[in-house]
Amino acid sequence: MPLRNLMYITKQLEKLIVKKDLYGRKLITLPNPRFIVFYNGTDEQPETETLYLSSAYEHKEKEVNLELKVLQLNINKGYNEDIKSKCPSLFQYMQYVDILRENMKSHPLKEAVIITVDYCIEHDILKDFLLANKSEVISMSIFEYDEELHKKTLLSEGYEDGYVDGHKEGLKEGLKEGLEEGHKQGHNSGYEEKTIEAIIKLSKNMNLDIDRSMEVLEIPQDKRKKYKDIILGAYTPA
């Protein structure tokens, strides 16, 4: 999150100083930035947390030359209720997200988004905003929850976690050459472990059952029973 904020503020600063001389002697003054992000994911998070760009640095140093702090506010149910009570739009946005997640359990992504938007308009949840920006909201919601992008991110994260956990060589090749090539190179153990982790993570993050998660991740049919049994603790190696 701090990295995304860094990329965003850099673009905004470029717009501010586009007509100013960067190489002149006069100091170019800048507005004081403050970074706040509202967290509405499904992973357990504290009510408030400060995130640091330096946490992502490969080498930890006593003196950090470039730092960026982001205040994360958890706006899920039961967190920061005082803030949401003072901001009806924020409260209604969380209602929209909760309804969309529920609809995604039983409908394809695009259909779930359309159903959610129509429901919220009918029940006066962000009604004026949705009526004025319906097509944009649908497009953005589909983009944000795009299953293909989410699938690639989860599998990539799984391989990176596996690298740290000890499947260094196999997962390193898998990251470079793709999941299929990594599998062909004989790194079956790391591949299966990280695939199972991806299934579990997707099920948790998107509130999907195991079968639906494997469908989204396009797990081969001949592997699904085995992976499901492993997740449920019922698998016995042959």
Is residue 21 domain-resident?
Answer: no
Task: Give the domain-ending residue among 124, 144, 164.
Answer: 144
Is residue 200 domain-resident?
Answer: yes
Is residue 99 domain-resident?
Answer: yes
Is residue 20 domain-resident?
Answer: no
**pLDDT, tens digit, for every residue of 100-111?**
889 988 888 888
Please tell me whether residues 109 and 94 are part of one structural domain: yes
Please tell me whether residues 171 and 207 are part of one structural domain: yes
Confidence of residue 146 (pLDDT cuts 50, 70, 90): low
Please tell me whether residues 125 and 96 are part of one structural domain: yes
Residue 182: is its pLDDT beyond 60?
no
- Give the pLDDT confidence score for residue 227 in this predicted structure: 87
Is residue 228 domain-resident?
Answer: yes
Instruction: Report the sign of the C-alpha dihedral through residues 71, 77, 79, 84, in that order.
Output: positive
Residue 186: is its pLDDT beyond 60?
no
Is residue 27 domain-resident?
Answer: no
- Give the pLDDT confidence score for residue 150 in this predicted structure: 58
- Give the pLDDT confidence score for residue 50 in this predicted structure: 96
Please tell me whether residues 120 and 173 are part of one structural domain: no
- Give the pLDDT confidence score for residue 30 in this predicted structure: 87
Name the residue range of residue 225's domain.
147-232
Following CA atoms 144, 154, 213, 94 in sequence, which dihedral angle do they give, to the nearest 10 degrees?
Answer: -40
Please tell me whether residues 173 and 227 are part of one structural domain: yes
**pLDDT, tens digit, for every residue of 89-137?**
888 988 898 898 899 888 888 888 899 999 999 999 999 989 988 888 8
Is residue 129 domain-resident?
Answer: yes
Contacts of 85 (CB under 8 A, 6+ apart): 91
Other Cβ atoms within 10 Å of 228 Cβ, number: 19
Is residue 37 domain-resident?
Answer: yes
- The reply to whether the predicted model has a pTM over 0.85 is no
Please tell me whether residues 138 and 177 are part of one structural domain: no
Instruction: Report the sign of the C-alpha dihedral through residues 140, 144, 145, 146, in that order.
Output: positive
Residue 6: is its pLDDT beyond 70?
yes
Which secondary structure element, helix H or strand E, spans residue 69, and what is its range? strand 69-74
Please tell me whether residues 64 and 93 are part of one structural domain: no
Distance (Å, rounded) from C-alpha 235 to C-alpha 147?
A: 28
Residue 40: is its pLDDT beyond 60?
yes
- Are residues 51 and 2 in contact, defined by beta-carbon separation less than 8 angstroms? yes
Please tell me whether residues 133 and 106 are part of one structural domain: yes
Q: What's the token pair of residue 25?
A: 């002697």
Tell me the average pLDDT of the chain: 79
Quote the number of domains for the chain: 3
